[in-house]
């Protein structure tokens, strides 16, 4: 379990900003599978955090599939495997990177 003394709340709007910017960039792409969009969104957020100079991140998602694949140590052969592989490579760049499932409210 990841611990953080400073955690942005939903009211802070940080996640909403990522979400809106992501859909401006990716929303027009033709994708029939929502899981692929969520996986791409997570990769975009990680790349943004790197560009902003963050050393430690906690990536939260309400997609249990994505979080399980990111936390898994064995090979992933799902349809989102290439995105998951990229995200795992990005995670190794951070000094600390945790993946957590959060249920929708």
Q: What is the pLDDT of residue 76?
A: 81
C-alpha dist (Å) from residue 32 to 43, 47, 48, 54: 18, 24, 25, 32
Split the chain (105 residues) into runs of 10 and give each run's mean pLDDT. 46 50 56 81 89 90 93 89 95 95 87
Q: What is the pLDDT of residue 28?
A: 52
Q: What is the pLDDT of residue 23?
A: 55
**What value does the CA radius of gyration of the chain take, rounded to a whole number of Å?**
13
Q: What is the pLDDT of residue 38?
A: 87
C-alpha dist (Å) from residue 23 to 16, 17, 37, 39, 89: 11, 10, 9, 13, 23
């Amino acid at each position: 379990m990841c611990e953080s003394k400073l955690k942005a709340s939903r009211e802070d709007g940080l996640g909403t900003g990522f979400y809106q910017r992501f859909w401006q960039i990716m929303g027009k792409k033709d994708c029939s599978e929502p899981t692929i969009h969520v996986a791409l969104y997570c990769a975009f957020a990680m790349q943004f955090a790197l560009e902003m100079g963050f050393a430690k991140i906690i990536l939260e998602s309400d997609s249990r599939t994505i979080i399980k694949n990111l936390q898994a140590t064995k090979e992933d052969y799902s349809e989102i495997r290439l995105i998951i592989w990229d995200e795992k490579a990005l995670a190794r760049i951070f000094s600390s990177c945790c993946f957590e499932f959060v249920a929708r409210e």
